[in-house]
Structure 1
Amino acid sequence: MATSSPSTTLPTDAAARLACCRECPRRCGANRTAGQRGVCGASDQVEVGRIALHFWEEPPISGTDGSGTVFFGHCSLGCVYCQNGRLAAGEAGKPYAIDQLADGFLRLQGQGALNINMVTASHYGPQVREALRRARKRGLHLPVVWNTSGYETVEAVRANEGAVDVYLADFKYARAQTAHAFSAAADYPSVALAAIDAMVEAVGAPAFDSYHGQRRMVRGVLVRHLLLPGHEDESFEALRLLYGRFGDGVLYSLMNQYTPVISRRAAEGRGNAAEMLARYPELGRAADEGAYQRLLDFADSLGMDDYFWQEGQAADESFIPEFE
């Protein structure tokens, strides 16, 4: 894979965005074109952990043929319980040149993917948009899904206009104190709501087509909320905020797949996992099935009667992809 800096192959305006980085709400100002790494851990060199079909997204994203998923290295949010913690921490992933990234998109299309699904790509926004532009010139025609933590600036969302068709956005926290404790981002609730506003403005109401006999989402916003163990009341608050603000103008996905990988990372002595687990022991277990059912019942009581939900055992490390 390529190791030379890609900034010299980016359009001037795109390279300038990385020279004093403001790509995420942390606005760290790192000169990533000079090799500095931002708070996210990334330089201007794109790092990717996996490019492959992925079958475990919501039905209109994965269908039966799979979503063409690109898992990017590093992360601007850095949740302490992240199920993809190795990749987010830069412990996995390989460098990709922009043309190699475009090759990957086209390869996924050739494999029958329903879409191209960018997982945690926000800190590589200029490079990804350039790779998409090159891939489109070579025949890429699939819708693009931006799979994000929700911790995005409005400016970054607007920069994606014309490149992104579907936003698959998390809304992780309703409370600043939880966001600060688990992601060092007390501003997360307000930032994420403003970002989702911008996403709705950019791509509009959910729209679907039929692709190889599968119902496929081609426009719109799908907001995910993950039930965290011990935080049932905050999940109620999150749903109340979301439905009060967006109503039926977005789709919703209520998830019960929290996987306590922080316990393994703590046992392995990785990062500050042991310290965080000691401080927040609830993160060492899966969410309670009863709590999840109460969350679904609460969603119904709000009038949110058309949403995606999970059944069976979703909290399992076997669902976590292997990264390069």
Structure 2
Amino acid sequence: MTLCTLCPHECRVERPVIDGAAGTYGYCRMPWQPKAARAALHLWEEPCISGTSGGSGTVFFSGCTLQCVFCQNSEISCGGKGWPVTAEGLRQVYQNLITQGAHNINLVTPSHFLPTILESLEPKLPVPVVYNCGGYEKVETLQQLEGKVQIYLPDLKYVNEEAALHYSHAKDYFAIATKAILEMYRQTGPYQLDQETGLLKKGVIIRHMILPGQTKDSKRIIDWVADHFGPGEVLFSLMRQYVPCSKAASGQYPEIASPLSDEEYQEVEDYLFQSPVEDGFVQEASSADSQFIPLFDGTGIKGM
């Protein structure tokens, strides 16, 4: 009997091997066998991930250990949409994406499927592996990925415990996520870019998406990054792409039911530019558009 403790929720349930089998679903609402909803070249990540031609070979897994009320991928993170895939199938998915020209293999919210993920990454792939997650990760889980992941792409969503609890059901988010990010950096060390292509070879990109009404918290995020990393160590991505999705678009959370205002974004961007944080990215206003949400129709997954 295997009781699941992969994520900070530590549900300690015996998850079903596959959907419909005997067992108990935990917080992620997923069986042990991975489910994924899309595997395709993705051009809308940070420039050093997507590049200018091939794109990032992105695999969107179903389920999530946070299930944020504003999630743009709620159809798969909370709704459970997806198709089952084995370790062998995932390996074929990676190879297909590489053949199509993917600069890297980008695993989106994969932690609750860790045993199969680890198996799928052997032997080492010829391109970097990107671990794209919400930041709410156990250090012990991340340690199992050492040497298998070259690039970590975590969110750092909140400092404020009340906001973390209200919007992501994780009051301890900041304490957990910051420890996780420090472990990610321990594994990769300072980021390295390919001097010819500008593509990221290894390192950590910390993402932060500003929420409406939460500019003070965003500034505290910037302060934490500045206090813990120096120039040349990590990249910081300030995101203005918030649009109301999932429960945030239904009226249940009226304070975040509208897009981020230009004034709020400008306030945080100015704070970032005045901070010691030097390396990273900001987004154009046009990024706040639902057209950038991928179509979760089984592309690249069905039949694997």
Aligned-residue offset at 1:297: 0.8
Map Cα deviations across residues 236-267 of structure 1 (whole Å, 9 max, x no partner): 1111122112233211000000111236863x
Q: 2:240 aligns with which of 231, 256, 279?
A: 256
Gaps of 5+ in 2: 298-304
Aligned residue in 2 for 1:25: 8
User: RCO (CA 8 Å, sep 6+): is it higher in 1 or 2?
Assistant: 2
* Counterpart contact for 1:35–1:44, Cα < 8 Å: no
The one-letter code of the counterpart of 2:96 is R
Aligned residue in 2 for 1:92: 81
Aligned residue in 2 for 1:7: none
Task: Please tell me the root mean square deviation across aligned C-alpha atoms, in Å.
Answer: 1.5
* Counterpart contact for 2:134–2:156, Cα < 8 Å: yes
Q: Counterpart of 2:225 in 1: which secondary structure?
A: helix
Map Cα deviations across residues 165-208 of structure 1 (whole Å, 9 max, x no partner): 00001000011111000011000000000000100101111012
Q: 1:51 aligns with which of 33, 39, 52?
A: 39
Aligned residue in 2 for 1:271: none
Q: 1:207 aligns with which of 177, 187, 192?
A: 192
Map Cα deviations across residues 27-54 of structure 1 (whole Å, 9 max, x no partner): 0011124543221111111100100000
Question: Where do 4+ consecutive residues of structure 1 move more than 6 Å?
Answer: none
* Counterpart contact for 1:262–1:284, Cα < 8 Å: no
- In the superposition, the TM-score normalised over structure 2's length comes to 0.92
Aligned residue in 2 for 1:158: 143
CA distance in 2 between counterparts of 1:206 and 1:234 reads 26
* Counterpart contact for 1:41–1:90, Cα < 8 Å: no
The one-letter code of the counterpart of 1:304 is V
Aligned-residue offset at 1:90: 3.5
Gaps of 5+ in 1: 1-15, 267-276
CA distance in 2 between counterparts of 1:178 and 1:241 reads 17
CA distance in 2 between counterparts of 1:183 and 1:94 reads 25
In structure 2, relative to structure 1, the CA distance for the partners of 1:30 and 1:253 (3 Å cut) is same
Q: Counterpart of 1:215 in 2: which secondary structure?
A: coil
1:177 aligns with 2:166: no
CA distance in 2 between counterparts of 1:97 and 1:162 reads 22
Q: Counterpart of 1:53 in 2: which secondary structure?
A: strand
Report the count of equivalent residues.
290
Map Cα deviations across residues 83-115 of structure 1 (whole Å, 9 max, x no partner): 000100134211111111110000000000000
Map Cα deviations across residues 8-33 of structure 1 (whole Å, 9 max, x no partner): xxxxxxxx7xx111110000011124
1:241 aligns with 2:224: yes
The one-letter code of the counterpart of 1:201 is R
Mapping of residues 67-82 of structure 1, within 5 Å: 67-82=56-71
CA distance in 2 between counterparts of 1:218 and 1:25 reads 29
Aligned residue in 1 for 2:264: 291
CA distance in 2 between counterparts of 1:77 and 1:264 reads 15
The one-letter code of the counterpart of 2:46 is E
* Counterpart contact for 2:205–2:234, Cα < 8 Å: yes
1:118 aligns with 2:107: yes
Compare the two structures and name the one with the higher helix fraction.
1
Q: Counterpart of 1:141 in 2: which secondary structure?
A: coil
* Counterpart contact for 1:262–1:283, Cα < 8 Å: no
- In the superposition, the TM-score normalised over structure 1's length comes to 0.86
* Counterpart contact for 2:36–2:60, Cα < 8 Å: yes
* Counterpart contact for 1:56–1:62, Cα < 8 Å: yes
Aligned residue in 2 for 1:133: 122
The one-letter code of the counterpart of 2:33 is Q
